[in-house]
Structure 1
Amino acid sequence: MTDHAKTAAAVLTGVGGESNITSMVHCATRLRFVLKDESKADAAALRATPGVITTAQAGGQYQVVIGNDVPDVFAAIQAQTTLGGSGPEGGDAGPKGNLFNRFIKMISAIFTPILWALAGTGLLKAFVAAAVTFGWLDATTTTYVILNALSDALINFLPIALAITAARYFKASEFTSFAIAAALVYPTITALNGQPDITFFGIPVTMVSYVSSVIPVIIIVWLQSHAERFLLKVLPGAVRRFLTPMLVVLVAVPLVFLVIGPLSSLIGGGLATGIGWVFETLPWLGGAIMGGLWQVFVIFGLHWGLVPLFQLEYQNTGMIFLLGPVFAAVLAQAAAVAGVLVRTKNKNLRSLAAPATLSGFLAGITEPAIYGINLPLKRPFAFGVAGGALGGALIAMGGVFSKAFVVPSALALPALLGNGNMVMLAIGLAAAIIVPFLLTVLVGFTDPADATAPTTPAVATDTVVANPVDGTVVPLAEVPDAAFADASLGKGVAVRPTSGAVYAPFDATVVAAFPTGHAIGLRGVDGVELLIHVGLDTVKLGGRHFTLKVQSGTEVKAGDLLLEFDGAAIEAAGYDLITPVIVTNGELYPDVADVASGPLSHGEKLFRAVSVDSLTTTR
């Protein structure tokens, strides 16, 4: 059982189990849950879970901050549950919350699936633009044409991508949404932008550009979802499947051209003009707000509300002034945690600060730095806010802007090169990095004392593993599952149960009590870690026919009841009940010996987990 699997199991328990989860998605660093009852979540237990940085509640979501490993933990949760894919289950699921929270939740759900692709192609576009600026690439060559196309295509056809994610959120037909969005950016339609005397059945049409647009497609997909539900109810069954998309597209696209598009263009243009006015009239104020408060917005999940503004500004002006100061905000927090790395005497804190500094500077991922170090220590976070505000103000005063949507980081700096006053950019970035770094190193913070020695014994000893379930012992190689049979998950044996109870095979701590009840992870007092997996693929039962008697963190004695299951019902549902019992920390216990065979009652010796120290001694 990997660390990610343990973290996933603990997170599931901490949020109240799979039955308490309405939907689950993840972004760059966070698991984002919509819970049926947030009072069932145990924030203290979640924050104490290895692999979890902290928790937050914002935008109608219960957020568990993991850091860079969030995709792995997300995948582990999917493997342990019947929860769906990376998209949310829909905008109508779970408690509604206030209008603002619902808006933040919607924007997060719609943009999260495409964020990294958008950031990656944006970064590539920034590199291409920098290559042209410095004369490394000739813009008249076909090489440039190809590179520009592959880096610009996603942002150009953004309405199509948003149509898919919005359809998932609003529970509309994805390919009907695709058809609507594709019509908005169809080449002959795009060519009509700004042309006079455009009509649709005699009705005048004010054609605007839908390239890179955001608002029109989100609104029309929302309307589409309601129209589809209505039509599927009222149309005859023989024709509803093809008439529904036909009628929806026939009405939706002209509705965008006649009403939604011009209105959203007016609103978007007004917002872009307002942003431009602030950064032209009071640039220091706009820059200080974005640079100083961006990471505060991130803590509460409110930064998602600004993502559409980035895109609106780009759509209307081809420039994103809002993004420049955010570079200062990100690099300032990375610099503050670098200061912690230099000053702290705490070994554990130093081990956390090193990767957090690297991910903050290079990738712009600051959650590990903020939640794991800067915010708990208080002063480094405040120093980072101050440095971000100062750097953001200087960058904005230089009129610096980005010509691509990127995740602010050192690697993404080419997006700013040549766009505004480069001297002010350099001074602003230097201030954002130097000020919080020096304040953290010189002014300091309360350095936590080193933790006590680990509970795992310095020298591992052999551990006798008793049989946890009545049944017949079967060699692991005969288990009809390759992951168990080839011992890639760990060495051990399997038992074909003859009763429906699982007991503790030794004195231990429950480190993973899977909410579905199909598996238990234990850590013995000698350090051995054991996985008892009842049946194959039984996670798909979603907890049916299983009853957990313990939870993660429970201390158990040999012979204590861990879980009960209905073997007959599980087999009747088509699942193999064979139960692997394997050692999962093979680095300390690389082998098993004295393996029993034949029928065996629970409590009798099943095998001996052989420690690495024992092997070394015998050699």
Structure 2
Amino acid sequence: MIFLKTFNNSAALVQDDQGQEQVVLGKGVGFGLKKGDKIDESKIERRFIANSHQDEVNQVKEINASTIDLTNKVIQMVEPLLNVKFNDFQHLALADHIDFALSRIEDNIDISAANIRWEVKNLFPKEYKISEKVIALINKEMKVNLPVSESTFMTYHFVNAASDNDQVQETVEISEFISGIIDIIQYKYRMDLATESFNYSRFITHLRVLLVRLLRNKHHKSGELDGSLLGFMKIKYNHAYDTAEQIATYLHSKKVLFDIFNGTFLHSQVHATFLGIPIISMNYTSTVIPIILAVWFASIIEKWCKKWIPTVVKTFLVPFVTLLIVVPLTFLIIGPIATWIGNALAAMTSAIYGFSPVLAGVLLGVFWQVFVIFGVHWGFVAVMMSNVAAMGYDQILGLSLGASFAQIGVVLAILLQTKDQKLKGIALPAFISGIFGVTEPAIYGVTLPRKKPFILSCTAAGVGGGLIGFFGTRMYMMGGFSIPATIGPKGGVDMSVYGLMIAMAVSFVLGFVLQIALGKKSVDADYDEKQAKAVQEVANQADVIAKAAPASNTDLNVSTELVSPLDGELLPLSEVKDEVFSSGAMGEGVAIEPSQGVLHAPDDGRVVMTFPTGHAIGMKTKDGAEILMHIGMDTVNLQGKGFETLVDKGDEVKAGDELVNFDIDEIHSAGYIVTTPIVVTNSKDYEKVSVVRQGEVKVGQEILDLEGATEKEASTNENPQIA
């Protein structure tokens, strides 16, 4: 092999033994040689036949020698990691990309890939990790600092290399497509392309790489790109963008790319196929109805499977067959239906906005939260992206901005109205997240389960939406904070921005006022029902205590001293977080926050009531005082978990005897408090029930003093509050 001339130290033109000219690549392959010298073939790493690859030869001439050497190192590192062999076009495309990346660094140009980095990283994790290693190698060898975005671009080269299978038919198709694309470009620009130029060669190389990915379904559809990027390209490079759309239409016609229902509001991009059936894009984030429908459909299929699948294999075959049927049908039917409904609603809202912005605002404000529940609100997001890309702003999606503030206005009112501590614990974080536009916790956790508050929030949102439509508020970008997104790049803060602020304030205040005025009864309906059941439970307990022990041999004229049944801190009964006790309806007494999990007898007497759940115990003292000791609030729901009753009904006990063991930590971990009321259920039979101690208390220390009644016959009366 004879050396003819050098392009650079790593690229040379040679003549092989058959007289054909070749371009060879390799570190130092042409260094120090003169025309006619024999070349060291061991240095050759890549060859191009000059006559049949003239474009590639021209491209090699333009690439820096150090870049060619570096590309060879990169390929030597990558090929064993991916178990692939780079073909000539892939080798050259990678070298050109590295050379271009290094040029951009010199010119201080950074092309951001933030909009697709996450998808690339997750779709091609192996190739992405390798690309990070390659970037590190380039930075080290060339003493540069390439940006993170280069890892994303580099990944595409490695994905393309890993999927290459050199099909002849594919090569023919690619050639036909390139010819068609060139014809479109020449027609749109009314000029002939300089086919001998370096830029043309470079364009063809990258076009080949693109078409390989398209034909093998390894590409990202435009719907996955950031709308702001597409909008920028459309405005900045309008003619080029229009040409690209013409090329896309051409590729659609050749079935390289395809959408369904193109040109209608049902238009949806295809992301994959299942048994030849196109599957469209559907985002299930923040939706609930599509998932409910899928689960409901799965339950039907599961019942059907159980009828015919043999028992011996039901355990694994029933779920397997169910998923095998349900998953594809969910993606084929349920998701697309939600997408189409969303697109139809968005198209209808756009039409109404053209007729009356106020009417469109009212309708979208009222129904926006309903759309969120059904997952059809994403159709409006697509319209917004399209509007921003075409016009630089959108007026449709902004109509929904009042909904968040209407929702949190209602939630704040509920937070102030409710007596249910659990609801308060849900409402407060839901209110905070709603301020930042995340209303799902408020909808699903607070307003929707109570129905009326949800309706009131939709009403307030409708008023806010109408105001936004009236002021003509525009959104110029997507963002977590609504107000900055409505500030125009040219007009700045104008009346439309102030109008949005007014609409938000009105939505918030109106939601709050409507809930205060009309929604109070719906807030604690379930809570009040639970409280009524709790009152009935405690009343039953008091009734049992009153009737269980005979009234003989008791004297309520005698003052009785009750000692503490627990170690802990004394609390006024009014501070107990249960109105059944704190109101005094069940009798007077005191509460203890226990520090030890052992309940003792407060006086000599008889056990007249125990529960299988162990959460409460009742006794009647020797002097006739009827005592109820209720460990914790709502702890009956634990069904005995964490409790051990040490006595039985009818047992005689002495003051200080152990009655119940309970695990404070286990009760707390289950979400319950252990504050224990000590209640004299027949306290009205006494002249006065006095708390004689405060603060910390030990078992056996006096806590209550019961002063005897003035009327002798009181000792035989039944408990008046039970009667």
Q: Which range, TM-score by smaller chain?
A: 0.3 to 0.5
Q: TM-score, normalised by structure 2?
A: 0.31
Larger radius of gyration: 2
